[in-house]
Amino acid sequence: MSQTQKPLILTGAKPSGELTLGNYLGAIKNWAVMLEEYECFFPIVDLHAITVRYVPADLRRWTYQCLAQYIACGLDPARSHIFLQSHVTGHAELSWVLSCLTPVGDLHRMTQFKEKSARPGASVNAGLLYYPVLMAADILLYNADRVPVGEDQKQHLELARNLAQRFNQTYSETFKVPEPFIGKTGGRIMSLQDPSKKMSKSEDNPGEAVLLLDPPEVIRKKILSAVTDSGKEVRRSDDKPGISNLLTIFSAVTGRPIEKIEDEFAGAGYGTFKKALADAVIAELEPVQERYRGIIEDKAYMHGVLKQGVDVAQARAYKTLSKVFRKAGFVDRIR
Ligand code: ATP
Ligand code: LTN
């Protein structure tokens, strides 16, 4: 089957910090198994990363790290299109057109906006509010069939679907309505210190998240000091969010059902379980870290990957954008 006949998936991560175990289990690990079945577009969404306060040098470093980690996690650039969002002309332009179809009230209702704007010292800028429209543009610019994301992005994806439908109704049939694609396990990994919050790369407390690049002893320490609930039974339960989260992580890392893991650790206590979990996470991440070290040293290779990715992405983006501009009534560019 040729590449173009495969359904298209698009999904991205923002280089707003070092990638976490949440990004890996909820997202990247699932993307890596889609390369055969789908034509895959993996933008690193750097335009999204500037909606919160940041330091430009950090953004540059995190962008390269994210790229190297994508590849180290199994996103093979020979079988997918990996590129930087800011390298493609079209994301910002399409988001402008879509923003003119977006009621501001919809954006104020977004959970991620509410959470991020409520953080102490947050910059509540228009970009932060407008963020989901840019995400919709990322998806619609490539006419993606499916969008694999963690559960936290469901609401944003719903907006992207609404905007596709609204554009099609306002002008004429143009966009596919993208489907969300959320993994069975790992869709929502919670903070190790506060299991009522999602594990996030942009938190100040380093104990909350295991980072993909954490050395083994740091991973072990973070997992052993993860908050657990009263009692000592290794069993998932709605009123035991701490141990339930650790079970979810164990299951997502090993691919084993939670019930089997509960049986294995029946009567063992939290301490034994946490040690085994730390071993499993370290074993999963060690080969990723090994590959990462080879890639991050090789700028020429990374630039080659980005060039290859952007060429395919830009060609597709131009096609959609010119169609959209024509339908919106803009006069064709004089060449
Ligand atoms: P930030 O913490 O800075 O808001 P983020 O990690 O939530 O960033 P991205 O890097 O853009 O945001 O996320 C990349 C992918 O990882 C998305 O598909 C998102 O749904 C998924 N993801 C992020 N955090 C988690 C989590 N804790 N559990 C499961 N999936 C997650
Ligand atoms: N909003 C997402 C990141 C993101 C994305 C996208 C995900 C931006 N554009 C397009 C899937 C498809 C987040 O915060 N995780």
Taking only the tens place, the pLDDT of each residue in 26-46 is: 999 999 999 999 999 999 999
- Looking up residue 235, the CATH number of its domain turns out to be 1.10.240.10
SS3 category, 13: strand
Q: What distance in Å separates the CA atoms of residue 259 and residue 2, rounded to the nearest whole number? A: 41
CA atoms within 13 A on the CB side of 241: 11
Q: Is 150 in the pocket of ligand 1 (CB under 6 A)?
A: yes
> Which amino acid appears at position 223 of this protein?
I
In a domain, 315, yes or no: yes
Find the mean pLDDT for residues 3-29.
91
How many domains are there within the chain? 2
Are 139 and 271 members of one domain? Answer: no
CA–CA distance, 183 with 69 (Å, rounded to integer): 20
The reported pLDDT for the residue numbered 305 is 98
Q: How far is the CA of 278 from the centre of ligand 2 (A)?
A: 29
* Residues 53 and 143 reside in one and the same domain: yes
Give me the mean pLDDT over the 77-104 stretch. Answer: 98
Predicted confidence at residue 183, as pLDDT, reads 77
Q: Is residue 172 pLDDT above 70, yes or no?
A: yes
- Cβ atoms 332, 326 nearer than 8 A: yes
Position 318 pLDDT exceeds 90: yes
Shared domain check, 312 and 272: no
- Residue 88 reports pLDDT greater than 70: yes
201 is known as an active-site residue: yes
Tell me: do 164 and 83 sit in the same domain: yes
Residue 125 pLDDT grade (very low, low, confident, very high; cuts 50, 70, 90): very high
If asked whether residues 68 and 170 sit together in one domain, one would say yes
Checking 156-164 for CB contacts under 8 A at 24+ apart, the result is 156/110, 156/112, 156/132, 159/102, 159/106, 159/110, 159/132, 159/133, 159/135, 160/132, 160/135, 160/136, 162/106, 163/98, 163/101, 163/102, 163/133, 163/136, 164/136, 164/140
209-231 per-position pLDDT tens digit: 999 999 999 999 999 999 998 88
Residue 127: predicted pLDDT: 96
Note whether residue 279 is domain-resident.
Answer: yes
CA distance 14 to 116: 15
The predicted pLDDT at position 229 comes to 87
Predicted pLDDT at 312 = 98
- One domain, residues 156 and 7: yes
User: How far is Cα 147 from Cα 139, in angstroms, rounded to an integer?
Assistant: 8
Q: Give the whole-angstrom CA distance, residue 51 versus residue 112.
A: 12
Percent of residues, the chain, with pLDDT higher than 70 = 99
Same domain, 18 and 63: yes
Q: Is the pLDDT of residue 101 over 60?
A: yes
- Band (335; pLDDT cuts 50, 70, 90): confident
Residue 150's pLDDT is what? 85
Residues near 199 by beta carbon (within 8 Å), at least 6 away in sequence: 20, 21, 22, 189, 190, 191, 192, 208, 209, 210
Q: How far is the C-alpha of 83 from the C-alpha of 312, rounded, in Å? A: 9
For residue 112, the ligand 1 atom closest to its alpha carbon is 4
Mean pLDDT across the chain, nearest whole number?
95
Domain range enclosing 117: 3-182+298-328
| Nearest ligand to residue 150 Cα | 1
- With a CB cutoff of 8 Å and minimum separation 6, the contacts of 119 are none
Token pair, residue 54, equals 């940041």
Question: In angstroms, what is the span from residue 193 Cα to ligand 2's centroid?
Answer: 25
> What is the predicted pLDDT for the residue at 4?
56
> What pLDDT, on a 0 to 100 scale, did the predictor assign at position 151?
87
